Amino acid sequence: MPVACHAPLTLGCSHPGQFNVHPVPCVWGAADPKDRGPVIASTTDFMNKNAIGTHNGAYSTYRAVALACGRYPAGFKPDLTNTQPVVHFPPRAGWTGASRIVSIDPWGHLAHMVFKDQLVKHDIRPTISITKAHISLKEIEEATLKGRLVVDGEVMRNASTANCTKIAFEHVWHLPGIAQRFGVEVGHLRRCLFEETGGMFPELITRTDLDIFLPPIGGVTVYIFGDPAKLGNKAFPCACRVHDECNGSDVFGSDICTCRPYLTHGIEVCIETAQKGGVGVIAYYRKEGRALGEVTKFLVYNARKRQEGGDRAETYFLRTECVAGVQDMRFQELMPDILVWLGIERIDKLVSMSDMKHDAITGAGIEVVERIQIPDDMIPSDAHVEIDAKKAAGYFSTGPAMTEEELKQAKGRGFEKY
Ligand SMILES: [Zn+2]
């Protein structure tokens, strides 16, 4: 249901002095940044800000505590000298138009440059940053030792270390575009966002003149192997894995799922593609536990392993839904925005079995040539419940379909064996 449109003056109740507010115009999707205008999500520039919420996602809460403790200067404006991107990312066709990119600011990495003239007057901050890195992984070293990767001094520095460009993204939601992407009414979306965050952002209701929202959620990191200038040029092959965070596996090597093996396999395919003259992209989304959070995730693990009949593929999705209310909240519909921003038009090797990811990517107009599943010998023993359940649910696989009887068999470890 649409919400009533209140005049901005109603904010005078919570922020005295906020009469005659004049948000700086921001025309979402305009091709020229001068026409588009900056995103201003300032906590101090109440009169001119044009976005709800604030920078740094969930970390803004720590900033609030730092301010409360007197460790963060009130009214602080960052000194952004020398923070500009180390790699030039010129505008791409997908940056233009109100509906192709709706969850990040395409000009976010250049905000303090293209809107330089307005920096003196307004608190404008980058929402994308671009740097370079060396990454070193034991799985890369294994691939080198087994002869699958070679040290070329360019993409691979040594047996375990690769060169890459990395890009961090903060979410900037254009609410009408987000609503359109999900096929819901924008007023209804704003009310749900307001209510489900415990009323954290009253302006979702009171400032319907503001269409932009910086949600307090985790961002995205992109790792590019090979020359980023090749992205979007169909003369060069492109490999890609879109990976949703799984801290337990990605960082700590937990064996209940295939996340880290699939991630490192994706990195290997990306390096291999870059070494063959192409470019590889790992897009890492902070959507822990299918965006249900780690507390929910561990509750589900317990419920799976304690259920009558043991941990098995047949009930894998059901146990999640019982605890979380849904099976998945990652909303892959927003995921391709990052790929569109990068200028990717064709993925030659998509390292993913997920139909939801595949369909979202092709739905965004990006061609997928080949889908690559995780090699069987990389699946940890306790992760067969997950992988079998996913295959049975229709995830991409080149192997034989699971029978109903096979799905009923308990395959996960019980707690007694821990
Ligand atoms: Zn996992």
- DSSP states along 32-93: SHHHH------SS-TTT--EEE-TTGGGHHHHHHHHHTT-S-TT-----TT-S-SS-----G
Q: What is the mean pLDDT of residues 74-88?
A: 92
- 169-177 average pLDDT score: 98
For range 184-202, the mean pLDDT = 97
What is the average pLDDT across 185-190?
98
Instruction: State the pLDDT at residue 3.
Output: 31
Mean pLDDT for the chain? 90
Q: Please report, as a single letter, which amino acid is at residue 347.
A: I
How confident is residue 418, by pLDDT bands cut at 50, 70 and 90?
low
Q: CB neighbours (10 Å) of residue 140?
A: 22
Phi, psi torsion values for 348, nearest 5 degrees: -75, -35
Assign 310 a pLDDT band (cuts: 50, 70, 90): confident
CA of 127 to the centre of ligand 1 (A): 28
Please tell me the predicted confidence (pLDDT) of residue 225: 98
Q: How far apart are CA 134 and CA 154, in angstroms?
A: 11
pLDDT-derived band at 112 (thresholds 50, 70, 90) equals confident
Whole-number Å distance between alpha carbons of 96 and 113: 19
Q: Residue 245: which of 276, 187, 182, 288 has the closest Cα?
A: 288
CB 367 within 8 A of CB 344: no
- Backbone φ/ψ region at 362: left (φ over 0), alpha (ψ -120 to 50), beta: alpha
Q: Count of CB atoms within 10 A of residue 338's CB?
A: 22
pLDDT, position 380: 83
Q: Give the three-class secondary structure for 205.
A: helix
pLDDT in tens, 130-149: 999 999 999 999 999 999 99
Per-residue model confidence (pLDDT) at position 348: 98
Residue-level pLDDT at 408: 76
Q: Would you state the structure tokens that stand for residue 381, as one six-digit string?
A: 């023993």
pLDDT score at 93: 94
137 CA distance to ligand 1 middle (Å): 18
Cα–Cα nearest to 373, from 393, 390, 361, 360 = 390
d(C-alpha 92, C-alpha 114), whole Å: 16
Q: 146: which residues sit within 8 A by CB, 6+ positions away?
A: none
Q: Is 377 a catalytic residue?
A: no
Quick one: pLDDT at residue 215?
97
Query: Which of left, alpha, beta for 22 (phi over 0: left; psi -120 to 50: alpha)?
Result: beta
8 Å CB contact between 154 and 163:
yes
Task: Provide the pLDDT for residue 287.
Answer: 95
Instruction: Report d(CA 257, CA 223) in Å as an integer.
Output: 22
- Ranking 4-13, 95-104, 314-323 by mean pLDDT, the lowest is 4-13
Annotation says 328 is catalytic: yes
pLDDT value of position 19? 63
Query: What percent of the chain is predicted at pLDDT more than 70?
Result: 94
Q: Count CA atoms closer than 13 A to 328's CA, side-chain side.
A: 11
At 381, the pLDDT band (50, 70, 90 cuts) reads: confident
Ramachandran category for residue 20: left, alpha or beta (phi over 0 → left; psi -120 to 50 → alpha): left
- Report how far ligand 1's centroid is from the alpha carbon of 52 (Å): 33
Identify the pLDDT of residue 311: 85
Among residues 45, 244, 250, 328, the one annotated as catalytic is 328
pLDDT of residue 18: 52
Predicted TM-score (pTM) of this structure = 0.91
Q: Which amino acid is at 384?
A: H
Q: Return the structure tokens found at 81.
A: 């000298």
For residue 272, pLDDT over 70 is answered with yes
Check 330, 337, 371, 388 and give the catalytic one: 330
* Per-residue pLDDT at 362 exceeds 50: yes
**Please, are residues 369 and 273 in contact by the beta-carbon 8 Å criterion?**
no
